[in-house]
Amino acid sequence: MKTVYDFTVKDRNRNDVSLLDYQGKVLLIVNTATGCGFTPHYDPLEAMYRDLRGKGFEILDFPCNQFANQAPGDADEIHSFCKMKFGTEFPQFAKIDVNGENAEPLFAFLASEKPFTGFGKGLKNAALNKFAGMNNKKFGDKAYIKWNFTKFLIDRNGIVIARFEPTTDMKEVRKAVEQLLG
């Protein structure tokens, strides 16, 4: 059975990092952007990281510029922004594509394990669904991730447990992480 531990990714300095390095930890893997309406998710993410990392929790942050060019800049600019504006301490990896022919294989795997099921109900979610649909048309069947700040929860065995769209309340995400940590 394939797990996230089968993948190697690039850190923000373009060095290889085996996800096997995170074996035994609960992970939240997130595609992020610095200029998105969901960028304030960095605050509850950092709070969760500070509160729970001592219990074996890690957040893995993968900036992505495929959604309305909301993550411009290079790895250093993105990292500086996140440190200065949100005080982030969790690991930030190289800027990647999450959709299309050049999609990071990890994200293709995550999305195949927990496919998109919708943004939820309400006008805001319907609007995001329409905007994401237009954006993702160019990726066809390789539109794995629908928008910035999609989060995947991974258990201590490297198994994908849940997918949270950016419209999911961060309190719900935290509750799921805490339950998994025990």
Catalytically active residues are: 36
Alpha-carbon distances, residue 144 vs 6, 24, 32, 136, 150 (angstroms): 19, 26, 15, 9, 10
Name the token pair of 67. Answer: 């959604």
Please tell me the distance from the alpha carbon of residue 129 to that of residue 62, in angstroms, as a whole number: 22
Question: Residues 114, 120, 123, CA angle at the centre, nearest 5°?
Answer: 150
